[in-house]
Amino acid sequence: MPNSAALEPIQHINVKLFALPAAPEGVLEAAIPVFHRWIQNSACPELLIDVADYRHVPDGPGVILIGHEANYSLDCEGGRLGLLYNRKTRCEGSFEQRLRLSYQRVLQAAQLLEREPEFARVLKFDPACLEVVVNDRLLAPNTEQTWRLLKPHVQSVFREMLGERALALDWISSDPRERFRVRVDASGPSSESETAA
């Protein structure tokens, strides 16, 4: 079993929430003026700088709200609308505290989006359906060892954040060229998954 001390240097923990399937078309385009308002109003805890539009890139990053500490982005990767919190700067605390912070930030941003006039009553994110991505191939390569190391900590955080519902964790891909990604799903009645995808 890998040494848990290997957790401590891991930074750049990203969390992506998924919208419910009824999300309307045109969300990415409508998000551009919304993100500009967020910059003007300092709507997020991070220092927000600019908005980048990558809608023309197939399965690309979509529309990005660029910040100093982190980026927020809306995309339709894999045909599914999602909101990603991409942590860029160092964050203090344990791995679990850093993961908890990333989840809290993306959840807060999702709730803000849901309340915007452009999206009110038509856009809803599922707080119990998400992906965790570690954007550090050196410290967290996409391997079975990383999965065994991180799984209990990811499990612990989301049992705390999502309650005692059935919690399914799945290692999304074992391809070493990809970043380490875990799917977390507590939105249905399924029992916890012990099998890496």
Q: Where are the alpha helices (DSSP H) in 80-143?
A: 95-115
Task: Answer whether residue 67 is part of any domain.
Answer: yes
Burial code (b: 16+ CB inside 10 Å, e: under 16) for 88-125 equals beebeeebeebbbbbbebbbebbeebeebebbeeebeb
- Residue 195: count other Cβ atoms within 10 Å of its Cβ: 7
Give me the pLDDT at residue 59, please: 83
Give me the pLDDT at residue 4, please: 62
Task: Answer whether residue 172 is part of any domain.
Answer: yes
Task: Answer whether residue 192 is part of any domain.
Answer: no
Task: Answer whether residue 191 is part of any domain.
Answer: no
**Count of domains observed in the chain:** 1
Task: Answer whether residue 195 is part of any domain.
Answer: no
Task: Answer whether residue 7 is part of any domain.
Answer: no
Using CA atoms, how far apart are residues 46 and 120, in angstroms rounded to an integer?
A: 24
Split at pLDDT 50, 70, 90, the class of 3 is: low
| CB distance 46 to 115 below 8 Å | no
Task: Answer whether residue 196 is part of any domain.
Answer: no
Rg, Å, the chain Cα set: 16
Q: Where are the alpha helices (DSSP H) in the chain?
A: 27-41, 95-115, 144-162
Range of the domain at 79: 12-185
Strand partners of residue 15? 85, 132
Residue 197 has pLDDT above 60, yes or no: no
pLDDT digits (tens, 9 = 90+) for 37-89: 999 999 999 999 999 999 999 888 999 999 999 999 999 998 899 999 999 99
| CB distance 110 to 127 below 8 Å | yes
Task: Answer whether residue 124 is part of any domain.
Answer: yes
